[in-house]
Amino acid sequence: MTAAHDHQDPRRITVFTGSAPGGSPVFAERTAQLARALAERGIGVVYGGGKVGLMGVLADAALAAGGAVHGVMPRSLVDDEIAHDGLTGLDVVADMHERKLRMGELAEAFVALPGGAGTLEELFEVWTWQQLGIHAKPVALFDVDGYWRPLLTALEGMSAHGFLSPQFLASLVVADTAEDLLAKLSAWTPPRAKWS
């Protein structure tokens, strides 16, 4: 992944989300709404390739709306038969590190939907890459039903204590509707890289 290209409206968005459905039907409903909104705008989805949980909801809804959905999954998970078999494309890679690198290469923006530890790990890696100038792509939280508020409070605390620059906190896109998310991604400008 190379740094610093001019920002453009995304043609494909990498979405990080859970392999579980979550404890409320609102998570699946809003995931499907976002997937349909992306498909309607001709924006392709790149994601982890699974057929389970919110990952499956995302893929099924985007495909049903005529969208392109590209999965990236390590061989071990494909062998465990959790790969979605109806995708536009599926890259089978060696491991989780290669998965994240490939997902980063394929899209112009990153969005985290509700999920667990894996979703957080993916989110923080691409956001750190942005801060270091490894890429100049927006990173966003889709805040379904206030799901990301505790994380945002923690990030505000990091910033207040001097561990997270206010410019990088401000660079993280936060939206709770598909329309607001896409508008903010279109208007986003990259922050100055940390050590530049």
Give the confidence band of 39 by pLDDT, cuts at 50, 70, 90. very high
Each domain of the chain, given as residue ranges in start order, spans: 12-184
pLDDT in tens, 151-196: 999 999 999 999 999 999 999 999 999 999 999 999 999 988 887 6
Which pLDDT belongs to residue 193?
81
What is the residue-averaged pLDDT of the chain? 93
42-71 confidence digits (pLDDT tens): 999 999 999 999 999 999 999 999 999 999
Fold type of domain 12-184: Rossmann fold (3.40.50)
pLDDT greater than 60 at residue 23 = yes
Of the pLDDT bands very low, low, confident and very high (cuts 50, 70, 90), residue 143 is very high
pLDDT of residue 134: 93
Closest by CA position to 159, among listed 150, 168, 172, 146: 168
* Res. 6 pLDDT band, cuts 50 70 90: very low
- Here the tokens at position 25 are 């039907």
| Residue 81 pLDDT exceeds 80 | no
Task: Identify the pLDDT of residue 153.
Answer: 98
Q: Is the pLDDT of residue 7 over 70?
A: no
